[in-house]
């Protein structure tokens, strides 16, 4: 069951996605950027871990993070990197409903902790008909540190070309 704060964040995230979908301008230009900010709660991480079967103690146990020397006080569990990367298809799918997420390359550059505010953005690269390449990047909202980056390929619906 989601906590009240998780439900509130989910409502804010859903509202942001609805606003993005209502954008009338769907003409894509190389360099155009789409973004979202997100703060994952421990409840959301636990749901993700349960769904994926990930049992890494670094995602639930602050003492394991401390013992691994991966952060400084106050110690908090690490966010799963792939959970951070899940923001990229969320951005693309929210702005272009019906888009097919075809591929993604990822580099995990730096860890983030549960409760950190993340800023994820995708930048339009090459456009070839329905095939759009995006540069993807997730950064720590307060430090600007790159957490995850890569490249995504999406096939947009015919009505979005």
Domains of the chain: 4-160 (3.10.129.10)
pLDDT tens-digit map of 102-150: 999 999 999 999 999 999 999 999 999 999 999 999 999 999 999 999 9
Q: Are the beta carbons of 124 and 132 closer than 8 angstroms?
A: yes
Q: Is 47 helix (H, G, I), strand (E, B) or coil?
A: helix
Q: With left for phi above 0 and alpha for psi between -120 and 50, is residue 98 left, alpha or beta? A: left
Q: Is 1 helix (H, G, I), strand (E, B) or coil?
A: coil
DSSP state for residue 131 in the 8-state scheme:
E
What is the distance between the alpha carbons of residues 119 and 27, in angstroms, rounded to a whole number? 23
Strand order, beta sheet including 131-140: 33-39, 117-128, 131-140, 146-155, 100-108
pLDDT tens-digit map of 38-95: 999 999 999 999 999 999 999 999 899 999 988 777 889 999 999 999 999 999 999 9
């Amino acid at each position: 069951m989601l906590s009240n704060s998780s439900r509130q964040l989910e409502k804010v995230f859903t509202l942001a996605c609805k606003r993005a979908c209502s954008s009338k301008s769907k003409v894509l230009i190389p360099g155009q950027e789409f973004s979202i900010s997100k703060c994952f709660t421990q409840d959301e991480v636990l749901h993700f871990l349960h769904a994926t079967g990930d049992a890494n103690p670094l995602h639930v146990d602050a003492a394991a993070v401390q013992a691994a020397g991966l952060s400084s006080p106050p110690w908090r569990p690490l966010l799963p990197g792939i959970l951070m990367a899940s923001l990229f298809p969320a951005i693309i799918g929210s702005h272009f409903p019906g888009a097919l997420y075809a591929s993604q390359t990822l580099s995990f550059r730096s860890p983030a902790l549960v409760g950190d505010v993340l800023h994820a953005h995708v930048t339009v690269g090459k456009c070839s008909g329905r095939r759009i390449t995006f540069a993807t990047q997730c950064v720590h909202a307060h430090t600007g540190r790159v957490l995850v980056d890569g490249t995504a390929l999406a096939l947009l619906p015919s009505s979005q070309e």
